[in-house]
């Protein structure tokens, strides 16, 4: 017998652990079925873009750590690439290779979080994510060895990186990279045919290639729908044009495919780092920033004193979540005149309402988990 019910509203978040931060979903339900969904953001209220217009170009680098705080290295890189475009600075070759090593280690560590927590959202509870934290800690050990920090690294610099890696870094990195393929086998054996993950994610949150492109999605969200777009290939930066790796794509565009793409990308990151460790050149890790690119005067300027030429530039990279871009406008002063972040976490939320309508509350948790948001990037 059919039972007539009245729609009612359920708030999920901003304190709910499945919202991956202070994100709020306001769901209108008919029974367990979602008939409407609102996304509410702004609880982090950071004003980072406006604050950056009052600080020097170098002082803004730590801000980029705190946007996507699960992938600080890649946040650093997108910003310094934009400033280097304005200044016409070409970092030394060794610095370029170090940037790629750090970015791919960061991608692996970020995907460990994304995959582990997604498995948690699906109902496999704590085992997978605790296994993946084990390897993530080893990568954070490498970051600590390189720059003294584990989470907010502040490692990239305009013109290179803050310092060269110590002698013990390369042997330690080789050891970690040799272990990771075995760990990937372990993750895949644990998760790929896991009946809980398959039941909860296959056929859920299906995103067609056309909708993904129309919503300007990027990263695993886009590639999970079968679109082979990766900025590392389409618009190479650093030394990605010298490296061999594949673009990982899905076929069905569902939550399970996005999960598979991230696992596949982790293997590609291992392959990239292996090549970098093999081909790493010697040499300086920072360009000499002269008066031509910094201040009027006659001697090389201190990093905090950089004044970039008037103009505008957009620097973009393939972050773990997709296209991360920094748009910088300079009026020739000591701080950016305008500072804007194109954050993939924010853009990738665009289709969430349409993906959620018609599903259940439990499905909405899985769909949100498959997007892999970082709220610091959204409330920037």
Q: Tell me the pLDDT tens digit for each residue of 70-79.
A: 999 999 999 9
Give the pLDDT of residue 307: 85
Buried b (16+ CB within 10 A) or exposed e, 342-364: bbbbbbbbbbbeebbeebbeebb
Q: How confident is the model over 332-355, as a mean pLDDT?
A: 96
Cβ neighbours of residue 15 closer than 8 Å, sequence gap 6 or more = 22
Buried b (16+ CB within 10 A) or exposed e, 169-180: beebbeebbeeb
pLDDT digits (tens, 9 = 90+) for 283-302: 999 998 744 444 444 334 44
pLDDT category at 306 given cuts 50, 70, 90 is confident
Sign of CA dihedral 366, 222, 313, 162: positive
Q: How confident is the model over 133-146, as a mean pLDDT?
A: 97
Count the alpha carbons within 13 Å of 151 in the hemisphere toward its beta carbon: 5
What is the pTM (predicted TM-score) of this model? 0.94
Give the pLDDT of residue 127: 87
Contact 35, 22 (CB under 8 A): no
pLDDT category at 348 given cuts 50, 70, 90 is very high
Give the pLDDT of residue 304: 64
Q: How confident is the model over 356-373, as a mean pLDDT?
A: 96
Position 95 pLDDT exceeds 80: yes
**Between 302 and 357, whose confidence is greater?**
357
**Between 292 and 254, whose confidence is greater?**
254
Sign of CA dihedral 154, 179, 223, 372: negative
User: Domains plus CATH for the chain?
Assistant: 57-378 (1.10.645.10)
Integer Cα distance of 321 and 343 in angstroms: 9
Position 360 pLDDT exceeds 60: yes
Element holding 28 (H helix, E strand): strand 24-30
Contact 219, 349 (CB under 8 A): no
Mean pLDDT lowest for which of 2-6, 12-16, 308-312?
A: 2-6
Q: How confident is the model over 114-141, as a mean pLDDT?
A: 93
pLDDT digits (tens, 9 = 90+) for 309-319: 999 999 999 99
For the chain, give the percent of residues with pLDDT over 70.
95
Mean pLDDT lowest for which of 124-128, 187-191, 216-220?
A: 124-128
Beta strands in 305-355 (DSSP E): 311-319, 322-330, 338-342
- The two tokens of residue 34 are 């979602």
pLDDT digits (tens, 9 = 90+) for 147-201: 999 999 999 999 999 999 999 999 999 999 999 999 999 999 999 999 999 999 9
Give the pLDDT of residue 104: 98
Position 83 pLDDT exceeds 70: yes
Mean of all residue pLDDT scores within the chain: 93
State the greatest distance between any 2 C-alpha atoms of the chain, in Å, as a whole number: 86
């Amino acid at each position: 017998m059919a039972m007539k019910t009245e729609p009612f509203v359920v708030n999920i978040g901003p304190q709910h652990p499945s919202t991956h931060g202070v994100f709020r979903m306001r769901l209108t339900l008919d029974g367990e079925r979602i008939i409407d969904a609102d996304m509410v953001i702004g609880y982090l209220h950071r004003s980072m873009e406006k604050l950056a217009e009052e600080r020097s170009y170098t002082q803004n680098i730590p801000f980029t750590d705190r946007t996507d705080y699960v992938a600080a290295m890649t946040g650093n890189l997108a910003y310094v690439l934009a400033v280097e475009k304005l200044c016409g600075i070409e970092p030394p070759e060794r610095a370029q290779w170090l940037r790629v090593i750090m970015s791919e280690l960061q991608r692996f560590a970020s995907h460990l979080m994304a995959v582990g927590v997604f498995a948690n959202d699906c109902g496999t509870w704590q085992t997978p994510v605790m296994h993946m934290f084990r390897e993530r800690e080893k990568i954070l050990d490498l970051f600590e060895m390189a720059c003294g920090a584990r989470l907010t690294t502040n490692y990239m610099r305009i013109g290179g990186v803050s310092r060269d890696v110590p002698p013990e870094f390369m042997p330690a990195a080789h050891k970690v990279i040799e272990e990771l393929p075995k760990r990937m086998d372990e993750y895949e054996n644990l998760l790929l045919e896991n009946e809980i993950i398959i039941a909860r994610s296959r056929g859920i949150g299906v995103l067609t290639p056309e909708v993904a492109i129309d919503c300007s999605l990027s990263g695993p969200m886009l590639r999970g729908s079968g679109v082979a777009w990766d900025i590392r290939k389409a618009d190479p930066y650093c030394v990605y044009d010298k490296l061999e790796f594949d673009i990982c794509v899905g076929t069905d565009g569902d939550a399970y495919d996005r999960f598979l793409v991230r696992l596949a990308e982790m293997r590609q990151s291992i392959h990239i780092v292996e090549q970098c460790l093999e081909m790493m050149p010697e040499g300086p890790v920072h360009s000499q920033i002269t008066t031509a690119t910094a201040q009027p005067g006659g001697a090389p300027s201190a990093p905090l004193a950089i004044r970039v030429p008037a103009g505008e530039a957009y620097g973009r990279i393939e972050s773990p979540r997709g296209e991360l871009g920094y748009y910088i406008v300079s009026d020739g002063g000591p701080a950016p005149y305008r500072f804007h972040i194109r954050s993939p976490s924010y853009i990738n939320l665009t289709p969430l309402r349409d993906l959620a309508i018609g599903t259940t509350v439990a499905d909405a948790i899985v769909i949100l988990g498959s997007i892999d948001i970082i709220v610091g990037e959204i409330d920037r």
